Structure 1
Amino acid sequence: MGFILRRLGFYLVAFWASITLNFMLPRLMPGDPVTRMLSRSQQRLDPQQVESLQRLLGVEGGPWWQEYFAYIGRVFTGDFGVSISRFPTPVSEVIAAQLPWTLLLGAVSLFLAVIIGNLLGILAAWRRGGALDSVVPPLLVFIGSFPYFWLAMGSLYVFGVALGISPLRHAFSVGLTPSWDLTFISDVAAHLILPALSIVLVSIGGWMLGMRNTMISTNAEDYILMAEAKGLRPRRIMFNYAARNALLPSVTNIGMSLGFIVGGALLTEVVFAYPGVGYQLLAAVQGLDYPLMQGLFLTITAAVLLANFLVDLVYVRLDPRVRVG
């Protein structure tokens, strides 16, 4: 319980710091968001209209501490203001419409990378020196050295443009209505393959190498030698004894890799015009939509912190030693 409370306190402090940073960034820039938007668009508004925009963005020019506490109050009530680029839609509605697609892409990519990477690492360490251990790790490391967006653009050109066997953009075909029928689900899966594959190929090498190295050290433990001496089947020793204990560092790595997965998903969404948070963030930056940018930044931060906290809860369940103290 003490470990959980300490971790919860850490994540609450981190969330508060992200809220503060999110509040300060637009105000630390020269001028104010309204002035910068008007200078870029070369529009002329009446003073009353400018004042309305400033109230909309929460930069009326009052004392910063009053704006700060008002901003915190709006955040905890889910009020991020109104989107400028998609006026008059509230920011919360824009994020609610885009977030599920990012969660789908990130969750599928992370699940496949963890499962396939760890399984390959287990088999490579158990048959150390074999073909799987000698050929696959260098190949995956080579592929993983490419940036997310480069691999996404390459796969989009090869499979989408040259071969024409994959959709080029969006999360589902134009004309389909979102529903839970088989036609729509299969169409979403077809649009998800290339974006998810781009992220999986970049990240799977790290998972394989991490599990392989942990399994090699685990195979030298006394309980593995004891299990072999008892005559247990190699498959049972590999999965029930060695892999089960070697998985603990991988659980920690899940939390550490969430930020990279989210970052990769954001870049991949831009390449495939996938209607998630990353694609919407690019549109918000291009349109100087400050309320939407702030809402997206805070949503991404909160999602990563929450996922890391859930990973800590799972780790406590798997390894009771961390409960001490």
Structure 2
Amino acid sequence: MRYVINRFGFFVLSLWAAITINFILPRLMPGNPADAMFAKFQGQLTPAAIDAMKKAYGIGQSNLWQQYMDYLHGLFTFNWGLSFMQYPTPVSDIIKSSVPWTLGLVGISTLISVFLGTTLGVYISWKRKGLLDNTLPIVSMIFQAMPYFWMALLFVFIFGFKLEWFPLSHGYDPSLTPGWNGSFLYSMLSHAFLPGLTLLLGSLSGWIVGMRNNMINTLGEDYVTFAEAKGVRTSRLMFSYAARNAILPQLTSFAIAIGNVVSGSILTEQVFSYPGIGNQLTSAVTSQDFPMIQASFLLIAISVLVANLIVDLLYSRLDPRIRTGGLSHEG
């Protein structure tokens, strides 16, 4: 119980720090967002127009503490300001329309990569020095060594441009109306296949090699040898005894991967012009859309913190040493 309370306390403290840093950093920049936005229109807008925009964005209307209070109120009421590049669209609306695409693409690709890589790592560690053990890690490392954007461009050129098997860009056919129907779902899946395959191949090696190494170390433990000597069946020995403990280090990597789902793979989304949060963040940086940048970074930070909290709680359930260690410490 004390371990869980400590984890929640650390989460709240880290969340407050991330929120506060996200508030302070943009205000340390010279000038203000309104000036940066209208610098390219110098001479075309009157001072009154700029002052009106500052008032609309709440810039320079109060002291720093009041701005911080307004920032917190807007944060918890999902009033994250207006986008510069898509004015007057609220930032929250842009994020709501972008996050589902990233969660669907990067989230599903990550889950498939974790499940497939972990399962293959367990299998090849059990069948050491077999054909798969000698070839699969090397082949998967070749794909991981390739930059995401280069692999994405290669897939676009071969399967999209040359063979015309898959669409080149966007998340679905613009001529279709989004909805839960066969045509739209097929279009959405066909547009997501190439970017999803890019993400899958780029991350698969780490899960395979990591789980293989963890399993080899675990299989050498005395309790596994003892269970094998007792005649425990192979499937139970592989998964209940070895894999259950070998998978614990993978959880840390899984937390980082899940936390990074929200940010998406920025370069991959940009290559495929996929309408996810990563592509929106790239456009926001290019356009100096400070409200969108601020909201995106905060969303990424929160997702990482939440993912780490979940994994910490899972650790307390899967690893009895954490519970017993906490109890002995209390005593």
Normalising by structure 2, we get a TM-score of 0.91
Please give the per-residue CA displacement for 1:90-140, whole angstroms capped at 9, x wherever unaligned. Answer: 111111111111111121111111011111111111111122112211222
Are 1:137 and 1:205, in contact at CA under 8 Å, matched by a contact in 2? Answer: yes
SS of residue in 1 equivalent to 2:265:
helix
Q: CA deviation at 1:211?
A: 0.5
Matches within 5 A, 1:149-298: 149-259=149-259, 262=262, 265-298=265-298
CA distance in structure 2 between the aligned counterparts of 1:9 and 1:170, rounded to whole angstroms: 41
Q: CA deviation at 1:215?
A: 0.5
CA distance in structure 2 between the aligned counterparts of 1:172 and 1:31, rounded to whole angstroms: 40
Q: Which residue of 2 aligns with 1:42?
A: 42
Q: CA deviation at 1:163?
A: 1.4
What is the identity, as a one-letter code, of the residue corresponding to 1:321? R
Range that drifts further, 150-159 or 18-27 = 18-27
Structure 1 gaps of 5+ residues are none
Q: Which residue of 1 aligns with 2:4?
A: 4
Are 1:57 and 1:290, in contact at CA under 8 Å, matched by a contact in 2? Answer: no
Are 2:79 and 2:92, in contact at CA under 8 Å, matched by a contact in 1? Answer: yes
Structure 2 gaps of 5+ residues are 327-331
Identity %: 44
SS of residue in 1 equivalent to 2:166:
coil
Are 1:148 and 1:264, in contact at CA under 8 Å, matched by a contact in 2? Answer: no
Please give the per-residue CA displacement for 1:219-267, whole angstroms capped at 9, x wherever unaligned. Answer: 1122322332233432332223221221222122211333555555222
Q: CA deviation at 1:55?
A: 2.8
Name the CA shift for 1:207/1:138 in 2 (closer, same or farther; >3 Å).
same
Q: Which residue of 2 aligns with 1:13?
A: 13
Are 2:102 and 2:276, in contact at CA under 8 Å, matched by a contact in 1? Answer: yes
What is the identity, as a one-letter code, of the residue corresponding to 1:170? H
Range that drifts further, 222-231 or 258-267 = 258-267
Q: How many matched pairs?
A: 325
What is the identity, as a one-letter code, of the residue corresponding to 2:132? L
Name the CA shift for 1:40/1:259 in 2 (closer, same or farther; >3 Å).
farther
Matched, 1:128 2:131: no
Q: CA deviation at 1:56?
A: 3.2
Q: Which residue of 2 aligns with 1:319?
A: 319
Q: Which residue of 1 aligns with 2:329?
A: none
Are 1:118 and 1:211, in contact at CA under 8 Å, matched by a contact in 2? Answer: yes
Range that drifts further, 114-123 or 290-299 = 290-299
Matched, 1:23 2:23: yes
Name the CA shift for 1:311/1:56 in 2 (closer, same or farther; >3 Å).
farther
Are 1:38 and 1:44, in contact at CA under 8 Å, matched by a contact in 2? Answer: no
Q: CA RMSD in A?
A: 2.0
CA distance in structure 2 between the aligned counterparts of 1:60 and 1:106, rounded to whole angstroms: 39
CA distance in structure 2 between the aligned counterparts of 1:295 and 1:263, rounded to whole angstroms: 11
Please give the per-residue CA displacement for 1:49-79, whole angstroms capped at 9, x wherever unaligned. Answer: 2222223333216422222222122112211
CA distance in structure 2 between the aligned counterparts of 1:241 and 1:43, rounded to whole angstroms: 73
Q: Which residue of 1 aligns with 2:79?
A: 79
CA distance in structure 2 between the aligned counterparts of 1:253 and 1:32, rounded to whole angstroms: 38
SS of residue in 1 equivalent to 2:247:
helix
Are 2:152 and 2:271, in contact at CA under 8 Å, matched by a contact in 1? Answer: yes
Are 1:148 and 1:198, in contact at CA under 8 Å, matched by a contact in 2? Answer: yes
Matches within 5 A, 1:80-119: 80-119=80-119
What is the identity, as a one-letter code, of the residue corresponding to 2:149? F
Are 1:252 and 1:315, in contact at CA under 8 Å, matched by a contact in 2? Answer: no
SS of residue in 2 equivalent to 1:137:
helix
What is the identity, as a one-letter code, of the residue corresponding to 2:36? R
Range that drifts further, 183-192 or 273-282 = 183-192
Name the CA shift for 1:43/1:8 in 2 (closer, same or farther; >3 Å).
farther
